Amino acid sequence: MALVAPEHQGVARPELPALARRDELDAAALAGQVLARARRVRDAAELADVAIRDDGPGIPPDVVAHVFDPFFTTKDVGGGMGLGLAISHQVVTAHGGTIELETARGAGTTVRIRVPIQQARSLDSVANAGR
């Protein structure tokens, strides 16, 4: 199972969230391959763009409509709580980003996360921001 496309081997990249990795690997167990790509994009704002793609069977439309709902799962009891994508959505949007799902029957699924890149501020500037 390939986790990183060959052109990105050895390239420094941010660690993917554990929830996204685990869920994508669970989904790919049926299909066999997960590819992850992270890059910097300069649109109207500078963004980190992370795409996690599998080559599985895709997700049916009635399921896609609920994948970001808390506690929604298609797994058997004990196989998952249905919180992975719901929490990921909350975290990404809290940071001003977007998380989207692209899927097609028989053609796999891609989860795309885009978040603004911001300069780190010192602890002093954060502490003094409200004064």
**Per-residue pLDDT band at 87 (split at 50, 70, 90):** very high
Asked whether residue 93 is domain-assigned, the answer is yes
- Provide mean pLDDT across the span 81-97: 90
pLDDT in tens, 19-77: 444 555 555 455 478 889 989 988 777 899 999 999 888 999 999 989 999 988 888 88
Determine what percent of the chain is predicted with pLDDT higher than 70.
66
What DSSP character marks residue 7?
Answer: G
Name the residue range of residue 66's domain. Answer: 6-10+24-118
Identify whether 96 is part of a domain.
Answer: yes
Through-space distance between the first and last CA atoms of the chain, rounded to whole angstroms: 52
Residue 17 lies in a domain: no
pLDDT interval class at 120 (50, 70, 90): low
CA separation, residue 22 to residues 17, 29, 37, 116, 124 (Å): 9, 11, 16, 24, 36
Provide the pLDDT for residue 5.
40
Q: How many domains does the chain have?
A: 1
CATH number at residue 66: 3.30.565.10
